[in-house]
Amino acid sequence: MASYRKLSTGWKVTISQRDAQGKLHQVSKNGFATKNEAKLYAAAIEAERNGVISQKKDVIFANYFADWFALYKKNKLAKISQNRYKIIHNVIQEFFGATHLKKITRSNYQAFINWYGSTHAKDSVLKTHRIIRSCVNSAIFDDIITKNFTQNIEIIFDKTRDISVEYLSVHELNILAKELKKKLSTRYPSRYMILVAIYTGARLGEIQALTWQDIDFKNRTISINKSWNYHEGGGFKDTKTESSNRVIRVNKELLDIIGQLKGNDKQMLFRSSFGTIPTSNAVNKTLRNVMHDAGIKKANFHFHSLRHSHVAYLLYQNIDLYAISKRLGHSDMTTTAKKYAYLIDEHKAKSDELIEQAINKI
């Protein structure tokens, strides 16, 4: 059975067939200039006994990725994340062309990683590889292929494109906080937002979305239960993950500072006197200006770097990794350990010295 739909790119046909066990299988194709062309395509597949199943197993890699994204991922992702998948689809199309999924070997895929990695940073290669691996796993579940050709791959990347993560030392963090407090103005909430990031390690979107209901002045806590959709012009959205919903303990000084903003808006913490919430660009511009005034030079430092600085400060203060993980909203310590491995390694070096000093006293 076939169904037809007119799209902006032409006619789309979806053909459905059941196998001997009654399981439904579907295959789609679009881009037909006329409905009649789509019907001829459908008729050719339906004429075969297992036409849909055969066609599905003979799918082009790039086409399967596009269908997998549309069916399983698109509705769950923000537009900025959707764009990453679309870019990956274009990259697959560029390298593999019309190569069918079942024809791709591990060697072919390693050649792809070598090609892509030669002009991209490690983080970009890892994210692309992770997404493609998930897609290929789906193809195995769909009985299109039997082996995952993305396994046991050597990750190749351009080391010159890797940007080292900048973070502030304890001394620099203190200087920045003092500089921010010098010129606080309730008309411009950006400085307040930066201070909240320093004291909590919260993400920009989480801070932008804070309401007065999220602030517990009595118990000195801030509840993170939503995020601000700043990539699409604002509005509330869910936090990054379920574990991102958390309650962060803060000190009285921070609460006294943000309490100055109560006259701006009855609902939103950081809505300015102009009726807007500072954008990512506005907050980062303020951060750069304040750092310049404080004499702090960090070439690649931006708002999210404050989260790294918060972790560095807590590690320096010998705060347990489990407590840091919960404060950041990570699902487990493994996520924290992987993301902040470079900081943990630096902290370990310091701890090893203390351990050695302690052993020498035995």
Share of the chain above pLDDT 90, in %: 55
Token digits of residue 79: 């537009």
Token digits of residue 259: 């309490």
* 4-59 pLDDT, tens digit each: 888 887 888 888 777 767 777 777 777 888 888 888 888 877 766 555 555 556 78
Question: Is 174 or 54 the better-scoring residue by pLDDT?
Answer: 174
pLDDT for 347: 64
Alpha-carbon distance of 345 to 351, in angstroms, equals: 10
Q: At the fourth CATH level, which superfamily is domain 58-162? A: Tyrosine recombinase, N-terminal domain (1.10.150.130)
* 313-349 pLDDT, tens digit each: 888 888 888 999 999 998 888 878 777 766 766 666 6
Report, as an integer, the average pLDDT of 215-219: 96
Q: What letter represents residue 119's amino acid? A: T
pLDDT for 174: 93
Report, as an integer, the average pLDDT of 83-88: 95
pLDDT for 355: 67
Could you tell me if 200 and 190 are in contact, meaning their C-beta atoms sit under 8 angstroms apart?
no
Could you tell me if 48 and 54 are in contact, meaning their C-beta atoms sit under 8 angstroms apart?
yes
Could you tell me if 311 and 340 are in contact, meaning their C-beta atoms sit under 8 angstroms apart?
yes
Question: Is 232 or 113 the better-scoring residue by pLDDT?
Answer: 113
Alpha-carbon distance of 83 to 124, in angstroms, equals: 13
From residue 129, how far is each of 46, 126, 154, 257, 327 by CA, in Å? 36, 5, 11, 44, 29
pLDDT for 346: 63
**Residue 143 binned pLDDT confidence (cut-offs 50, 70, 90):** confident
Alpha-carbon distance of 309 to 307, in angstroms, equals: 5
Strands 2-7 and 236-237: unpaired
**Residue 164 binned pLDDT confidence (cut-offs 50, 70, 90):** low
Alpha-carbon distance of 255 to 163, in angstroms, equals: 35
pLDDT for 261: 95
Alpha-carbon distance of 144 to 136, in angstroms, equals: 9
Alpha-carbon distance of 31 to 38, in angstroms, equals: 9
Alpha-carbon distance of 349 to 353, in angstroms, equals: 7
Architecture of the domain whose range is 170-349: Orthogonal Bundle (1.10)
pLDDT for 26: 73
Mean pLDDT for the chain overall? 88
pLDDT for 20: 67
Report, as an integer, the average pLDDT of 137-148: 89
Report, as an integer, the average pLDDT of 204-223: 96
Alpha-carbon distance of 279 to 251, in angstroms, equals: 26
SS3 110: helix
**Residue 2 binned pLDDT confidence (cut-offs 50, 70, 90):** confident
* 227-280 pLDDT, tens digit each: 998 877 788 998 888 889 999 999 999 999 999 999 999 999 999 888 899 999
Cβ neighbours for 142, distance < 8 A, ≥ 6 positions apart:
56
302: pLDDT strictly greater than 80 = yes
Question: Is 44 or 90 the better-scoring residue by pLDDT?
Answer: 90
310: pLDDT strictly greater than 70 = yes
pLDDT for 160: 84
- Stretch (H or E) spanning 228: strand 227-228
DSSP character at residue 100 = B
pLDDT for 207: 97
- Stretch (H or E) spanning 224: strand 221-224
Token digits of residue 266: 């009855």
120: pLDDT strictly greater than 90 = yes
